[in-house]
Amino acid sequence: MRRTVESIRLELPPQRAFDACLRLLTDPDPRRGMLARRCEPAPPVEGSTILTTVRGRDGGERELRASVVTLDPPHEVATAGEDDGPAVRTALHCEPEGAGTRVTLTSEVTGALVAGATAAGLLDSLLFGRSQRRAARATLRRLRELGEPR
């Protein structure tokens, strides 16, 4: 399993930071190739499905699915991917920090490679590590945008 932890400080009270976390479930990020994103049912509850439409490599569209596996307002929301490929669980945890909120993103990817093998572990790290860190930073950057006043 590959685990990445990144965090940011938002100048928002915890409830507003958590609300921004929930907006991540419904607001697409066009810079990351998302064409549409929705949550069924809305508003999100544990068990909700997040459907994200992205542009495929062939130029067509494809739909990605994830489930809300934890919803503990205003502290944590976590999702788990339901698509083919490695299993990904992403959690956002909000903690008060002074007048703001510290949001910590934890991403866990379970690769399909043989666990315990040195070469497989290195390959797993190379395949998932960089893209996982990049995705975590992009998610937190988008979270900061969603938390800004409209």
Which domains, ranges and CATH numbers included, belong to the chain?
A: 2-32+73-147 (3.30.530.20)
pLDDT of residue 114: 46
pTM of the model as a whole: 0.86
Q: How far apart are CA 59 and CA 76, in angstroms?
A: 35
Q: With 80 as the cut, is the pLDDT of residue 17 above it?
A: yes
Per-residue burial over 100-135, b = 16 or more CB atoms within 10 Å of its CB, e = otherwise: bbbbebbbbbebebeeeeeeeeeebeebbeeebeeb
- Average per-residue pLDDT for the chain: 88
Is 102:95 a contact under the CB 8 Å cutoff?
yes
pLDDT of residue 123: 52
pLDDT of residue 109: 87
Nearest to 92 by CA among 84, 109, 104: 104
pLDDT of residue 68: 98
Per-residue model confidence as pLDDT tens digits over 86-145:
789 999 999 999 999 999 999 998 765 545 545 555 555 555 578 889 999 999 999 999
